[in-house]
Chain A
Amino acid sequence: MAKEFELNEVEVWDGNYAASQALRQAQIDVVAAYPITPSTPIVEGYGAYVANGYVDGEFVMVESEHAAMSGCVGAAAAGGRVATATSSQGFALMSEVLYQASGMRLPIVLTVVNRALASPLNVRGDHSDMYMGRDSGWIQIDAFDAQEAYDLPLCAFRIGENHAVRLPVMVHQDGFTTSHKAQNVYPLKDAIAYKFVGDFVPVDEMLDFTRPVTHGAQTEEDWHYEHKAKQHKALMDSPAVIDEVFADFKELTGREYKRVESYMMEDAEVALVLLGSSVHTAVLAAKQLREEEGIKVGVVAPRCFRPFPYDLIRDALDKPSLKAVCCMDKSSPGGAMGALFNEVSAAAYSTNARPMMTNYIYGLGGRDFSVDEAKRIMKEQKAHADAGHITTNIQQFSGLRGPKLGFYEIRRS
Chain B
Amino acid sequence: MKKSTDKKRELAIMAGLRTPFCKANGAMRAASAADLAAHVFREVLDRTPIRVGDIDEVVLGCAGQDAREANVARVAALRAGLPESVPAFTVMRNCASGMEAVLAARQKLRAGEGEVFLVGGTESMSNFPLLMGPRLTRFFTRLGKARSPWQRLRALASFRFASLKPRLAVVEGLTDPTTGLMMGSTAELVAQRFGITRADMDALALQSHQRAAEAQREQRFAAEIAPLVLMPDYRSVVLDDDGVRREQTLEALARLKPVFDRHEGDVTVGNSCQVSDGAVALLCMSVARAEQLGLEPLAIVRGAATAGLSPRTMGLGPVHATPAALQQAGLRLDQLDVVELNEAFAAQVLGCFAAFADADWCRDELGRAEPVGRLDPSRVNVNGGAIALGHPIAATGARLLLTLAHELRRRRARYGLATLCIGGGQGQAIVLEAA
A, B bound = no
